[in-house]
Amino acid sequence: MSVQRQRLEVLAAGLDDIAVYAALGRAAEAWLRSRGLSQYVPAAHEEYAAAIRSRAESGSLYAVRDGGEAIGFFSLDASPSPWWPADETHALYLAGMVVARTARGRGIGSFIIEWCVAEAARLERQGVRLDCHAGNLWLRRYYEAHGFQLWGQVEQHPGYYGCLYQRDVASADHGAIHGNNA
């Protein structure tokens, strides 16, 4: 599935994209740390390489491309994140979102979020869920500004707490973001 907005496309990422995703993850984590934010970026770490490869192979890892160049990545999966307790909510789970430093300030993160919400609506899901480090107030405010509501907190690793966020999906027509201008 291809989605366009101006020159932006969302395409399933291939195995050949993993090295670029990892490099963007390392750059994102370094940038966060330079600002005193301790957000963990899995794409930056070798121990997540197999999981990222699995996402690429399953089609749940996506690349945002601008004129063919990968400027962002994220995964969107129907399987619940291990941090979310089992419940009856049919949601999609957004994770691993990174944007190239050269593309920051262009609304790429907002574009990714809106694409995911539109995809959830298209698939008749109730919401989009994600998690982030509880101590990263900047990122928490960012998600809240994009309509996500705090659902709870969970200890993800000893001493490392994450916030669970959910954005409900309205049944509005999301055809324009998916390039279906019918």
- Is 33 inside any structural domain? yes
C-alpha–C-alpha distance, residues 30 and 87, integer Å: 35
pLDDT in the model for residue 40: 74
For the chain, what percent of residues have pLDDT higher than 70? 90
How many domains is the chain built from?
1
Q: Phi, psi at residue 88, to the nearest 5°?
A: -90, 5
Alpha-carbon Rg for the chain in angstroms: 16
Looking at the predicted structure, is the pLDDT value of residue 41 above 90? no
Whether the CA torsion 31, 36, 37, 43 is positive or negative: it is positive
Q: Which domain holds residue 94?
A: 3-168
- Is 66 inside any structural domain? yes
In contact, 129 and 91? CB cutoff 8 Å: yes
Of 2-6, 22-26, 28-32, 142-146, the one with minimum mean pLDDT is 2-6
| Three-state DSSP state, 122 | helix
- Is 126 inside any structural domain? yes
pLDDT in the model for residue 96: 92
Q: What is the pTM of this model?
A: 0.86
CB atoms < 10 A from the CB of 65, how many?
Answer: 19
For residue 181, name the pLDDT band (cuts at 50, 70, 90). Answer: very low
**CATH number (domain holding residue 83):** 3.40.630.30
More confident residue, 139 or 43: 139
- Is 96 inside any structural domain? yes
- Is 71 inside any structural domain? yes
